[in-house]
Amino acid sequence: MKARKMMMLGLAVSTAALLGWFSAPVQASNLLLNPGFEDGSGFPPDNWTAQSYDGGAVNTYNMGDPSGAWQGEDFITMDADPGPGQTLVEQTVDASALPAGDYVLSAYVKNLLDTEQTATLSMFGRNSSGGKIVDVIDQTLSVPADGAWHRIYITKYLAFDGPGSYVECKLWSRPDRSFSWDAAQFEPGTTPSAWVPEPATIGLLLLGIVGLIRRR
């Protein structure tokens, strides 16, 4: 009886430890849906919209290619080289229930050219009365031509003030640029926290762990 109690206690502790360990990244909030581009059947992926300017660009939604993605199977490529065409993908985040504060938009990018180039992230947002609270494009995010994924980010104070507040998070392909993109994240704070995988993935992971524990 005592041994059984000890075992149950041990199991409870290890379960709590496992849940704590796996739920740690969930505490960081990624406010974007489909942030790793895993859902969808074409460009743009689900929950994202695309816009092209000045003649557009060639866009690719790469599916089922885990060797090419930073995480998961899918990522997007926006090739605007040569210019002048350019393209962006964006997602609007309803900020009605978000407090005013610093927010950071990040993504992983891979330079597809053989020279260093700058990647662009931007935010555009309005408050509850329609006033512009941010309109920023940062083009100083230099990415080396080393064939590796690099995380870039921009940080801004966003004066959300209740219902109607929103922010558009945009990943750009500027003229003469060519990048692959994966793992976008928008969250409170001034520096990006650890990448938060798809909520569904975490859910399945937890279910799997609980299933494993119950089977013991």
Binding residues (CB under 5 A) for Ca ion: these are 36-38, 69, 71-72, 74-75, 182
Nearest-approach distance from CB 126 to Ca ion, in angstroms: 29
User: Would you say 44 or 85 has its CB closer to Ca ion?
Assistant: 44
74 vs 81, which CB is nearer to Ca ion? 74
Where residue 129 falls (left for φ over 0; alpha for ψ -120 to 50; beta otherwise) is alpha
Closer CB to Ca ion, 103 or 195, in the complex: 195
Alpha carbon distance 13, 19 (integer Å): 10
Going by C-beta distance under 8 Å and a sequence separation of 6 or more, which residues neighbour residue 127? 133, 159, 160, 161, 164, 165
Q: Residue 125 or residue 198: which is nearer to Ca ion going by CB?
A: 198
Task: Give the single-character DSSP code of 28.
Answer: S
The answer to whether the CB of 110 falls within 8 A of the CB of 69 is: no
Do the Cβ atoms of 65 and 73 come closer than 8 Å? yes
Please report, as a single letter, which amino acid is at residue 216.
R
Nearest to 61 by CA among 19, 99, 72: 72
Residue 90 CB, nearest approach to Ca ion (Å) = 17
User: Between 38 and 138, whose beta carbon lies closer to Ca ion?
Assistant: 38
* Nearest approach, Cβ of residue 197 and Ca ion (Å): 9
Residue with tokens 């689900």: 46
Smallest distance, Ca ion to C-beta of residue 147, A: 17
Task: In angstroms, give the least distance from the CB of 139 to Ca ion.
Answer: 24
